[in-house]
Amino acid sequence: MSTVSAVTRRLLFLPALLLRSEVSTKAELLVLRLENAVLRRQVPRVRYEPSDRLWPAALSSLIPRHRRAEIFSITPATLLAWHRQLVAKKWDYSQLRRPGRPSTATAVKAHVLRMAADNPTWGHRRIHGELTRLGRTIAASTVWNILNRAGIDPAPRRSGPTWKQFLASRAHRRP
C-alpha cells in the first residue's frame, strides 16, 4: 500500500507543480536566493565540474543581462571562457592528425623491392629512375629508405676497387 500511495502522491504533485500560483513560485525563488547567498558566504570559491558548467551556460540566455550578476556566482567572462573551452574540445582534431609525410603505398614498396630483387646490381638511384620512367612519382630518398628497411643495400657494391682503394693504388704509381 505504501508504494501505491507514493506513486499517487507523485502523480498528484505534477499537476500541482504546473498549476501553482505565481506567488508561491516567487516565494520559492526568494527562499532559493537566500539559501544561495548564505552558501556563497560560507564557501570562498566554488569549483564547478564540467557537467555543472552546462546549466549556467544554457540558462544564462533566458535571464536578462542586468539580473545575471545577482543570480549567477560567475562573471560573463567566465561563461565565455567555458564556452571557448567547450568549442575548442569539440573541434579538436589533434587525435586524427598524424605528423609527417603520408606513408608510401604498399604497392609502390612491393614494386621497389621486386625491382631490387630482379636487378641486384641496381642502386636506389637507378630504381628511382626506372620508377620515374614508369610514371611513379617517388623521391630517391624514399626508395633508399624502402631498400634500407628491407635489409637491402641501397647502393650495392660493384665489382672492382672502391674509390679509396683506387686513389691509394694511383698514389703509389706517381713518378
In a domain, 100, yes or no: no
- Average confidence score pLDDT of the chain: 81
pTM check: above 0.75: no
Contacts of 140 (CB under 8 A, 6+ apart): 124, 125, 128
The answer on 76 and 133 residing in a single domain is no
Q: Per the domain annotation, does 50 fall within a domain?
A: yes
In a domain, 130, yes or no: yes
Distance of CA 153 to the CA centre of its chain: 39
- Residue 70: partners with Cβ closer than 8 Å, 6 or more residues away: 33
pLDDT tens digit string along 6-30? 777 776 666 666 666 777 777 787 8
- Quote the CA–CA distance of 150 and 153 in Å, as a whole number: 9
Q: Which domain, by its residues, includes 122? A: 106-151
Mean pLDDT (whole number) for 96-109:
84
- Residue 79 located in a structural domain: yes
Last residue of a domain, one of 36, 60, 89: 89
> What is the model's pLDDT at position 158?
62
Give a yes or no: residue 37 inside a domain.
yes
Residue 27, C-alpha cell as written in the block: 516565494
- The domain tally of the chain equals 2
